[in-house]
Amino acid sequence: MIRLDKLVSAAGGVSRQEARKRILSGAVTVDGAVVTQIDFKIDEQRSAVAMSGSALTYRQYRYFMMDKPAGVLTATTDRDQRTVLDLLPEELRRLKLVPAGRLDKDTTGLLLLTNDGDYVHRVISPRHNVPKVYYAETDGMPNEADVRRFAEGVTLSDGTKCLPARLELLPDQAACRVTVREGKYHLVRRMLASCGTPVVTLRRLSIGSLHLDKMLKPGDFRELSDAEVQAVFLDGAPQN
Ligand code: URA
């Protein structure tokens, strides 16, 4: 059960205050009858709610992908710097979305945002083994010996031991693809730096079987379909 003003606000994309105004003005119906009581309790699975004649569909959890641009923090708020949440319109900021995993300030590409805390946990926890694929441009070209080191698990300069990862060389390019299944701080940058080929640009291409939508421009976002929400847990990446 959910309060009518909460449902109207979330499903109608308006503030709680605006939702209350609309309810009091008689614009909202429940199963065809006008309801003006703002704390009226609704069974969101069964009742048909409409505002000004348009049906409102309430979903408790929402999932979005963003093509994160460079120069923006993966955080919900920051005193000084722009965050990925600042790129969303007001009606989506009200949903209390959080990033499911981090990208560094200068890393671009696929970032998930949701208000489903369990989902965030499943995406980032190494226990769930979700592969994340990155495209990196590097200063210098990684080589076959690096591919083997990645497959065995790189040991970083501070002694941190990484899980086995996949390094794919791209012929004749100072660039590569890296697949990791954990989320350590600056992981891909540190792994490639340890091969003597530091990252110049880094972009996340996929999480599980979910690929960044190529139609999105930097800073754009869109809601995921139910199948895409689950695709994150389907292993699209080859094992090492
Ligand atoms: N690894 C990094 O080094 N940076 C990211 O943003 C993600 C993975």
- How far does residue 18's CA lie from ligand 1's centre (Å)? 40
On whether the pTM is more than 0.85, the answer is yes
Phi, psi of 20 (to 5 degrees): -65, -40
Q: Which of 109-113, 115-119, 123-127, 191-195 shows the lowest mean pLDDT across its residues?
A: 123-127
Per-residue confidence (pLDDT) for residue 20, from 0 to 100: 96
104, 135, 154, 199: residue to mutate for ligand 1 pocket, most atoms within 8 A of CB: 104
DSSP classification of residue 213: P
- How far does residue 104's CA lie from ligand 1's centre (Å)? 6
- Residue 15: pLDDT over 80: yes
- Residue 237: pLDDT over 80: no
Which one is catalytic: 39, 80, 86, 104?
Answer: 104
Nearest CA to ligand 1 atom 4: 186
Contact between residue 130 and residue 143 where contact means Cβ atoms under 8 Å apart: no
Phi, psi of 226 (to 5 degrees): -60, -40
Cβ-based neighbours of 125, under 8 Å, separated by 6 or more: none
How confident is the model over 59-89, as pLDDT tens digits? 989 999 999 999 999 999 999 999 999 999 9
Q: Which atom of ligand 1 is nearest to the CA of 189?
A: 3
Per-residue confidence (pLDDT) for residue 239, from 0 to 100: 52
The Cα 203–Cα 182 span in angstroms is 16
How confident is the model over 23-45, as pLDDT tens digits? 999 999 999 999 999 999 999 88
With a 6 A CB cut-off, is 188 part of the ligand 1 pocket?
yes
The percent of residues above 70 in pLDDT, for the chain, comes to: 98
Contact between residue 35 and residue 29 where contact means Cβ atoms under 8 Å apart: yes
Q: For residue 236, name the pLDDT band (cuts at 50, 70, 90).
A: low
Largest pairwise CA distance in the chain:
71
Contact between residue 150 and residue 166 where contact means Cβ atoms under 8 Å apart: yes
How confident is the model over 141-164, as pLDDT tens digits? 999 999 999 999 999 989 999 999
- Is 104 catalytic? The answer is yes
- CA separation, residue 30 to residues 48, 51, 237 (Å): 6, 9, 46
The Cα 51–Cα 62 span in angstroms is 21
The residues facing 49 across adjacent strands are 30, 56
- Residue 131: pLDDT over 70: yes
With a 6 A CB cut-off, is 73 part of the ligand 1 pocket?
no
Contact between residue 225 and residue 210 where contact means Cβ atoms under 8 Å apart: no
Nearest CA to ligand 1 atom 2: 186
